[in-house]
Structure 1
Amino acid sequence: MNPSRPRIPEATVARLAVYLRVLTGLADGGRAGVSSGELAGAAGVNPAGLRKDLSHLGPCGVRGVGYDVLGLRDRIARVLGVERSRPCVLVGLGNLGSALADYAGFGSRGFEFVGLFDSAPERIGQVIGGRPVRPVTELDRVVAETRATIGVIATPAEVAQSVCDRLTAAGVRSILNFAPVTLTAPAGVDVRQVDLSVELQVLAFLDTQRDAPVPALGGMA
């Protein structure tokens, strides 16, 4: 971690990213200020939790006035390190990978795909999101030339580990994994797992619990 930046708990970092998204939307809509209650509500947290999270950034708002939207947005962006564009590479251009590559929202949030890769011959040369799909054999060279720091894996589970190994060997130190498998990475490499099937299973459980009858209270003996 950059010693010039405060140490912030990972859970707080995740919420700061949500605050950044909300503030960016407010700024795009022309808003100059926002109250802690409104920002907390839009982010799905309580105001006390919001203020605790923002305390890691130092003084931010004015009591009774709220927060300056642009100022707070830019401060969070600097702390998260997204004030400048981050070069990323994506491996696996199936349905999910293609959707990710074609999503314009990443660019507006400081992330640029500088290389798209796949091993299927029929996908090589396709243009997705304005960029051509390259063979995986070019991965090392592109990472070196672009200094890509983030890799996104959207491959089948059986090849995800080999892709992870190749990315880390090329110099990538942060990986977002959409493949339904746990990856093993060298020390110093951060891996974030996004398993859509697990998330759906959690939602199915919550939905089941919502519909379950409430058990009656037992009587006194």
Structure 2
Amino acid sequence: MPPPRPRIPEATVARLAVYLRVLAGLADGGRRNVSSGELASAAGVNPAGLRKDLSHLGPCGVRGVGYEVATLRDRIARVLGVEQSRPCVLVGIGNLGTALADYAGFGSRGFRFVGLFDAAPERVGRRIGGQPVRPVAELDEVVAATAATIGVIATPADVAQSVCDRLTAAGVRSILNFAPVALTAPAGVDVRQVDLSVELQVLAFLGQQRGATATTVEVTA
């Protein structure tokens, strides 16, 4: 039996997902081959970093030819498990939650919402993306019935931790948190934080820094 392949670092996994998105777009556009330089540029990384990331997949490209788009796309998809349909639940059907629930692109990447939940009575019963919004009281039942292992939190910050606790108690082992608060989860539960306000603040700072640099260069000149 061959030895197990070394674990792929989390940062590399995140970049593989970006490469997959780029390759899917190239394939849809009819491209057959792509060089490491082209793929790296489209993904926003340097070619050396790209080649190091892809080395975790085994031999992929041909020197002087590059990568066969469809083959590399399919290999990354297998590694990331995109071929499997992964059931997810979403808690919090405000503006952001509604947009996430109604986004058709998740299905093509192997994710499907099997349960939408909200605590507000006026939201319960609505249908979004083909799914009815259910009361939070039904969360445990739906997770058990669908074997959902991924939970998405799009609630206000003050209730996000309690929702996290409920998801993990129901058996969810992976959580994507859009609420602007750090969550505490039990060992064995992976939590990914997406704080849109922080990302905007980083962009604002970078823009301010870029403007300050340009002003300094102009004055010096």
TM-score, normalised by the number of residues in structure 2: 0.94
Paired letter, 1:69: V
SS at the partner of 1:59?
Answer: coil
Deviations along 1:43-100, whole A, 9 cap, x unmatched? 0111111111101111001111111111111111111122211110000000000000
Residues 171-210 of structure 1: pairs in structure 2 closer than 5 A:
171-210=171-210
SS at the partner of 1:214?
Answer: helix
Paired letter, 2:168: T
Paired letter, 1:196: L
Q: How many aligned positions are there?
A: 215
CA distance in 2: counterparts of 1:34 and 1:98, whole angstroms: 37
Structure 1 residue aligned with 2:216: 214
- CA RMSD in angstroms comes to 1.4
CA distance in 1: counterparts of 2:32 and 2:143, whole angstroms: 39
Paired letter, 1:132: P
Structure 2 residue aligned with 1:94: 94
Per the TM alignment, residue 5 of structure 1 is displaced from its structure 2 partner at its CA by 4.9
Q: Which runs of 5+ in 2 are unaligned?
A: none
Structure 2 residue aligned with 1:76: 76
Find out whether 1:150 has 2:150 as its counterpart.
Answer: yes
CA distance in 2: counterparts of 1:207 and 1:29, whole angstroms: 33
CA distance in 1: counterparts of 2:187 and 2:181, whole angstroms: 19
SS at the partner of 1:188?
Answer: coil
Structure 2 residue aligned with 1:50: 50
Per the TM alignment, residue 27 of structure 1 is displaced from its structure 2 partner at its CA by 1.5
Q: Which runs of 5+ in 1 are unaligned?
A: none
Paired letter, 1:107: G
Structure 1 residue aligned with 2:13: 13
Paired letter, 1:56: H
Sequence identity of aligned pairs in percent? Answer: 86
The 1:89/1:200 distance shift into structure 2, 3 A limit, reads: same
Per the TM alignment, residue 214 of structure 1 is displaced from its structure 2 partner at its CA by 2.1
4+ long deviations beyond 6 Å: none
Deviations along 1:30-51, whole A, 9 cap, x unmatched? 2221111111111011111111
Structure 2 residue aligned with 1:118: 118
Paired letter, 1:198: V
Whether contact under 8 Å (1:36, 1:50) holds in the other structure is: yes
